[in-house]
């Protein structure tokens, strides 16, 4: 029996997270399925940033580094985020970007295993991660080996010092078993750096319970921190005392305002900082985290899976016969919070969809990717998005040549 719009409205009516949608500023008529590239704008963020600009910067001026708490903001915001990651308050800090933080963590991890010559990484991971892996290996005189995520645990060898992979793959949404992979890495005496770009804010992470060593995550996707929001770093407490990260800027110094010539590392997670925090982005991110107040991450994960299951069921009913394929796992337990559909004209179909106010994104060569921000996406949105895709395919609307012209960001 086919799934109706009324079925989806009934699911929304009984959704334990339904009240959270009101925490976001969403334009009427837009179906936003791109929370995995840029989360929606939470209410209160624009006002808070305006206040920081006008009051803290405009009036407080340089005094705000002390009086408005700007100086300690990486630790403060890290502590606010930590419970969403299953981490302790002093194991998380907020700074810079994923790629830069991955660089710092990979070098720091490799320095903890100096006698081991190999970095083992995920083939098919987000390319930026593997570009960084290659560069770190060149810099430190290490070898690299890339294997599919599912084979990482078996591939760890006696030479492997550091392993890195995504917890949720950016394309397939495949989720790795963090506890099992971490245990396999430790059993071989290596260390692991997890990329949480598609996990933080979407999945019920338990970094401490899984014994993760290091992790890096994204502020602008499911955490809704705004374009270019700062990334976050997790370092397990047991490594905090021995870390030696390579970007030894003054914000990671024990006493930056002594202006000593030599570098002395700060104790704890602050050593992972390098430069002056970008305070306007930090302010937006800090305020955006309020949207998660009182929210159970287990519920967020459960709803994300249910939204994905619904999209897959609707795909099977209505899109498969129209030339679409599924590039995501059907098993919800092994799938993160997005669904990827393939179509040979995927780019043009996505442009046509966006023209109708249904916003997802496109990953070359043929993937239309739909990410579900569980705090604001409704079941009926999935129904209406699939109806729009089917209509575009049935009418051949995607054949309009103007839609195939690639924009810089897809």
Q: Which of 97, 248, 342, 387 binds ligand PLP (CB under 6 A)?
A: 97
What span, in angstroms and rounded, lies between the C-alpha atoms of 326 and 114?
43
Is position 126 annotated as part of the catalytic site? yes
Tell me whether residue 196 or residue 210 sits nearer to ligand PLP (CB atom). Answer: 196
CB 98 within 8 A of CB 217: yes
Tell me whether residue 129 or residue 174 sits nearer to ligand PLP (CB atom). Answer: 129
Number of residues that bind ligand PLP (CB under 6 A): 12
Per-residue binding string, ligand PLP, 187-206, x by CB under 6 A, is --------x-xx--------
Query: Which one, of 209, 202, 229, lies nearest residue 218 by Cα?
Result: 229
Catalytic residue among 71, 103, 170, 220: 220
Angle, alpha carbons 27-364-149 (nearest 5°): 105
Residue 70 binds ligand PLP (CB under 6 A): no
What span, in angstroms and rounded, lies between the C-alpha atoms of 156 and 144?
12
Catalytic residue among 221, 287, 303, 363: 221
Catalytic residue among 369, 370, 376, 381: 369
Q: Which of residues 153-192 bind ligand PLP (CB under 6 A)?
A: 166, 170
Tell me whether residue 182 or residue 231 sits nearer to ligand PLP (CB atom). Answer: 231
Is position 221 annotated as part of the catalytic site? yes
Query: Which one, of 216, 172, 194, lies nearest residue 338 by Cα?
Result: 172
**Residue carrying the six token digits 């905090």:** 240
Is position 146 annotated as part of the catalytic site? no
Q: How far is the CB of 196 from ligand PLP (least distance, A)?
A: 8
The pair of three-digit structure tokens given for residue 124, joined into one six-digit string? 């098919």
Q: Where are the alpha helices (DSSP H) in 156-219?
A: 178-187
Element (H, E) at 334: none
The pair of three-digit structure tokens given for residue 300, joined into one six-digit string? 């967020």
Q: Which of 24, 70, 71, 126 binds ligand PLP (CB under 6 A)?
A: 126
Tell me whether residue 145 or residue 198 sits nearer to ligand PLP (CB atom). Answer: 198
Sign of CA dihedral 318, 352, 362, 306: negative
Beta bridge partners of 34: 371
Residue 278 binds ligand PLP (CB under 6 A): no
What span, in angstroms and rounded, lies between the C-alpha atoms of 99 and 5?
41
Residue 99 binds ligand PLP (CB under 6 A): yes
Q: Which of 231, 245, 281, 328 binds ligand PLP (CB under 6 A)?
A: 231
Catalytic residue among 32, 71, 126, 251: 126
Calculate the alpha carbon distances from 58 to 64, 226, 251, 272 in Å: 10, 22, 24, 29
Q: Which of 128, 276, 387, 410 binds ligand PLP (CB under 6 A)?
A: 128
* Window contacting ligand PLP (CB under 6 A); options: 44-52, 70-78, 80-88, 92-100: 92-100
Residue 382 binds ligand PLP (CB under 6 A): no
Is position 263 annotated as part of the catalytic site? no
Calculate the alpha carbon distances from 367 to 172, 342, 359, 360, 362 in Å: 10, 5, 14, 11, 6
Residue 358 three-state SS: strand
Q: How far is the CB of 222 from ligand PLP (least distance, A)?
A: 11
Query: Which residues carry out catalysis?
Result: 126, 195, 220-221, 369
Site residues for ligand PLP per CB under 6 A: 97-99, 126, 128-129, 166, 170, 195, 197-198, 231
């Amino acid at each position: 029996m086919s799934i109706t719009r009324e079925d989806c409205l009934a699911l929304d009516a009984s959704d334990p997270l339904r009240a959270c949608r009101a925490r976001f500023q969403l334009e009427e008529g837009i179906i936003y399925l791109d929370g995995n590239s840029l989360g929606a704008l939470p209410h209160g963020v624009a006002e808070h940033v305006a206040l920081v600009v006008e009051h803290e910067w405009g009036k407080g001026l340089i005094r705000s580094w002390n009086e408005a708490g700007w100086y300690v903001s990486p630790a403060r915001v890290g502590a606010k985020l930590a419970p969403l990651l299953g981490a302790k308050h002093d194991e998380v800090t907020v700074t810079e970007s994923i790629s830069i933080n991955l660089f710092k963590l990979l070098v720091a991890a490799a320095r903890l295993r100096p006698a081991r010559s190999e970095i083992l990484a995920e083939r098919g991971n987000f390319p930026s991660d593997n570009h960084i892996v290659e560069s770190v290996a060149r810099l430190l005189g290490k070898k690299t080996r890339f294997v599919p995520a599912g084979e990482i645990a078996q591939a760890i060898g006696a030479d492997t010092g550091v392993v890195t992979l995504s917890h949720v793959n950016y394309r397939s949404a495949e989720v790795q078993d963090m506890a099992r992979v971490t245990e396999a890495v430790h059993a071989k005496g290596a260390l692991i750096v997890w990329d949480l770009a598609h996990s933080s804010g979407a999945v019920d992470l338990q970094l401490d319970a899984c014994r993760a060593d290091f992790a890096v995550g994204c502020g602008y996707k499911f955490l809704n921190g705004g374009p270019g929001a700062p990334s976050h770093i997790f370092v397990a407490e047991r490594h905090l005392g021995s870390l030696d990260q390579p970007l030894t800027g003054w914000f990671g110094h024990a006493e930056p305002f002594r202006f000593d010539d030599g570098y002395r590392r700060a104790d704890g997670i602050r050593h992972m900082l390098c430069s002056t925090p970008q305070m306007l982005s930090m302010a937006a991110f800090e305020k955006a985290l309020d949207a998660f107040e009182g929210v159970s991450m287990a519920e967020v994960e459960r709803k994300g899976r249910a939204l994905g299951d619904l999209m897959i069921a609707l795909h099977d009913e209505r899109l498969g016969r129209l030339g679409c394929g599924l590039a995501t796992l059907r098993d919800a337990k092994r799938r993160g919070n997005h669904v990827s559909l393939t179509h040979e004209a995927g780019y043009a179909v996505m442009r046509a969809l966006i023209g109708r106010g249904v916003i997802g994104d496109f990953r070359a060569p043929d993937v239309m990717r739909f990410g579900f921000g569980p705090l604001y996406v409704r079941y009926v949105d999935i129904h209406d998005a699939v109806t729009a895709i089917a209509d575009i395919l049935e009418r051949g609307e995607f054949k309009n040549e103007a839609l195939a012209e690639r924009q810089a960001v897809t």
